[in-house]
Structure 1
Amino acid sequence: MAASRTISKDIITLKGSAAIVSEFFGYAANSILYNRGVYPEESFVKVKKYGLPILLTEDEGVKTFIANITTQLSEWLESGKLQRVVLVIMSKATSEVLERWNFKIETDGEVVEKGVSRAKSDKEIMREIQAIMRQIASSITYLPCLDEPCIFDVLAYTDKDLTVPVTWMESDAKLIKNAQMVKLHSFDTKIHKVDTLVSYKTDEWDEEQ
């Protein structure tokens, strides 16, 4: 009897997709904080994720902060009400915004409304995430040096009708005036599509001689 071979795509559910995207944000945030030197190198430990070495913070305060954020993002992603997440890097001394790492999220409304699932291979999603993580890791080659102590914050843009938990505060957009931008790769679970963009402050040169 001939052996039959089943070729199947991995089934992606809304809950599964929300978990993939929120987990990605947690790893991406760690990678940004490491590669942009927001916290000292020795406060990170190397793990393997997405087939790549990724640095995770061992600072308990930062770990808790990121874990709480990813839990909340997962909930908002499942409700289809999250539009974007922005990791902002600011000067510790002046609070001036130096970089904005912008993760724009598009959600398949039909999946949220009707509870249907989509199909896409886990490997394919991992490859797409890998490409973004590589770009974050090489960010030092295309972003200006952050040569002062910095802090970070996370902004979430949600639908207006969403009840915001007490741990989140209303904030301004923390935009950068005359920012330069670099578009990074995107990834798509077939339920949530994530577009990544980093905008940054540049030294303003007076070009008029």
Structure 2
Amino acid sequence: MDICFIDLTVEFLAVAFHSILYYANVYPKSIFETRRKYSIVVYHSIHPEVNQYIDMCLRSISECFKTGHLSRVVFAITDDGHHPLLKFVFDFHKNVCFDDAKDAYLVQTEQNLRAFLLKLSSISEKFNKLPEDISFTVYLHTNESTAVAITTNPSLEDFPLIENEENTAESSEILPLRSFPVRSYNMDVYMEMMTL
């Protein structure tokens, strides 16, 4: 697995997760601080427990990427019963036409990551319909052997993966957000608003 892809993607997902929490008003605005990333202002939680949970999710994502068996990450905004109301889906596909010399300095990649974050802020009015008592969950789509390897990893033993056996709710609206290459992979990002 391309370690540069893993580092770039995990870093981007960290910024995306914190930004989604901010724009969806999952937590009060007062627990966020502004930072600069990809030449724009982004929001980052300063709450230790929220940050610890996100960091553990990102470490699990990184470990799954290293096995080469992570096809999708879903960041779901959930109601008080932990049912998804809104999903941000990050799909990963191997780019068979990858040219190592193209975008060697990652300028185009940074522009695409910035464009996603700007798009996220521009659609934030769609989050106004969410109830007040909401939370979030991160779903990783991987295979069974990778899940077992993650659960036996000593650095992640306090953060086990749990198999999701719920039926998937039907979405009422799908909004494509961005599709772009990141090194040897293509990333497709879209938002699903669930039928209530």
Taking a change above 3 Å as real, the CA distance of residues 96 and 69 of structure 1, as seen in their structure-2 partners, is closer
Q: What is the TM-score when the length of structure 1 is the normalising length?
A: 0.80
Match of 1:52 among 31, 40, 52: 40
Match of 2:93 among 106, 109, 113: 106
Tell me the SS of whatever aligns to 2:115: helix
C-alpha displacement of 1:147: 2.8
What is the CA–CA distance in structure 1 between the aligned matches of 2:188 and 2:65, rounded to whole Å?
Answer: 15
1:177 aligned partner = 170
Match of 1:151 among 135, 151, 166: 135
Match of 2:70 among 45, 67, 82: 82
Measured against aligned partners, the alpha-carbon deviations of 1:94-149 in whole angstroms (never above 9, x if no partner) come to 333211111001134799xxxxx823231110001111111112222345521321
Quick one: which amino acid aligns to residue 120 of structure 2? I
Structure having the higher Rg = 1
CA RMSD of aligned residues (A): 2.2
Q: What is the TM-score when the length of structure 2 is the normalising length?
A: 0.85
Taking a change above 3 Å as real, the CA distance of residues 178 and 127 of structure 1, as seen in their structure-2 partners, is closer
Whether 1:35 aligns to 2:28 is: no
Whether 1:129 aligns to 2:117 is: no
Structure 1 unaligned spans of 5+: 1-12, 112-116, 204-209
Q: Counterparts of 1:186-201 in structure 2 under 5 Å?
A: 186-201=179-194
Q: Greater share of helix residues, 1 or 2?
A: 2
1:4 aligned partner = none
Could you tell me whether the CA contact under 8 Å between 1:50 and 1:126 is conserved in 2?
A: yes
